[in-house]
Amino acid sequence: MLNFTQKERMLLEDQKTHEQVCIDKYNNYASQAQDPQLKALFQGYAQQEQTHLDSINQMINGQLPAMNQGSQQQNNAAPSKVQGTMANQSDAVLCNDMLMTEKYVSDTYNTAIFEFVDTNVRQVLNHIQKEEQQHGEGIFHYMKNNGIYNPQ
């Protein structure tokens, strides 16, 4: 049975809220996306975010979740389109918002990881953070491949 300090419990509650926001945004944005490829990407990420939420809830309930290492590679990067293809403007807005969201959520996991005493909990949080970073990478690649973002 996991026992948390008040601060650790607060951090888990914050991450629970963040995961729910990600689930809601990805599902909402999947329904709004014009490009079927982007729709599929967002739907896959929504499923992974649900797994993150389930893991956080298990920890809040005192249980260490089993780590499914295979899930890390799901929807890691968006398949390529022809370079220079311009995406629809509303899809660009969705991508920019989700990339910003993933940056924020990944950062909050970084802070939380340093606050936990239990090494196993840190590893679970690190696993989730890595997947959040992979979501950001997938969105970045979609944006780059669809003319939404051009790294200089």
pLDDT of 35-54, one tens digit each? 999 999 999 999 999 999 99
Helix then strand count (H, E) for the chain reads: 4, 0
**For the residues 84-112, what does the mean pLDDT come to?**
90
**What is the C-alpha to C-alpha distance for residues 51 and 130, in angstroms, rounded to an integer?**
13
Structural domains for the chain: 6-145 (1.20.1260.10)
Instruction: Classify residue 123 as left (phi > 0), alpha (psi -120 to 50) or beta.
Output: alpha
The pLDDT assigned to 69 comes to 54
Q: How far apart are CA 126 and CA 119, in angstroms?
A: 10
Strand ranges in 12-74 using DSSP code E only, listed in sequence order: none
Instruction: Output the pLDDT for position 68.
Output: 67
Q: Kindly tell me if the per-residue pLDDT of 6 is higher than 60.
A: yes
| Percent over 90 (pLDDT), the chain | 81
- Average of per-residue pLDDT across 90-107: 97
Estimate to the nearest angstrom the gap between the alpha carbon of 34 and the chain centroid: 21
Helices 89-115 and 6-32: crossing angle in degrees, nearest 10, is 170
Which pLDDT score, from 0 to 100, does residue 57 have? Answer: 98
The pLDDT, as a whole number, for residue 17 is 98
Predicted confidence (pLDDT) at residue 73 exceeds the cutoff of 70? no
pLDDT of res. 151: 80
- Read off the amino acid at residue 29: Y
pLDDT at 55 over 80: yes
